[in-house]
A and B are shown apart, each in its own frame.
Chain A
């Protein structure tokens, strides 16, 4: 399997549930990202990991908890979400962070469509 995969593709959860989104990249990249994409809004960068270390957290509420056990896997743990958290959650990877188009070009997964009831 190649590219960036995400599971599940669709998720419906109640506000009291705990769930996790999974992302796996098969590109040998070192940097991974979580984005939130809501209807009629731009891509919102949530978290950035480089070599398994979190390098950026864009003021994301603590009900979203990322985990990066290795350079190929990225998780987003969800708990006590709100209906306004319903969105498409996209994972992306790039070679790493740094100068050069080869480093910064991001490759996206298909996303997880999350609905919070």
Chain B
């Protein structure tokens, strides 16, 4: 079973700080790496995703960085806000089952 290793498991950041979450994968069917954000009591929602033709994608305060040779990608949240407090999941297209494989999740808490 393909695994996606996500770290850290939990993260506490002060308001205005940078939150960094990392994911590593073994194999992937194609280069597409989405991040999902989940608030308590809600389902995960697609936050941002990176496509194969770029090594970095930025949307507002959220940036994905992708290192293909290392098989790693990360989510950076700049100027972190209390409203960013949620659980974040990375995902990777499965190499042999044609669906997304999710990381174990990172619980982010941003304190004022």
Contacts and interface: CB of A to CB of B under 8 A. Distances in A.
Contacts, number: 63
A108 B78 CA distance: 26
Interface residues of A, number: 26
Interface-centre pick from B29, B36, B44, B97 (highest chain A CB count, 10 A): B44
B102 to A, nearest CB: 5
A109 B93 CA distance: 20
Interface in A4-20: 4, 6
A61 interface: no
B71 interface: no
B12 interface: no
A115 to B, nearest CB: 14
Interface residues of B, number: 24
B43 A97 contact: no
Contact of A97 (B30, B51, B99): B99
Contacts of B34: 101, 105
B41 interface: yes
B102 A48 contact: no
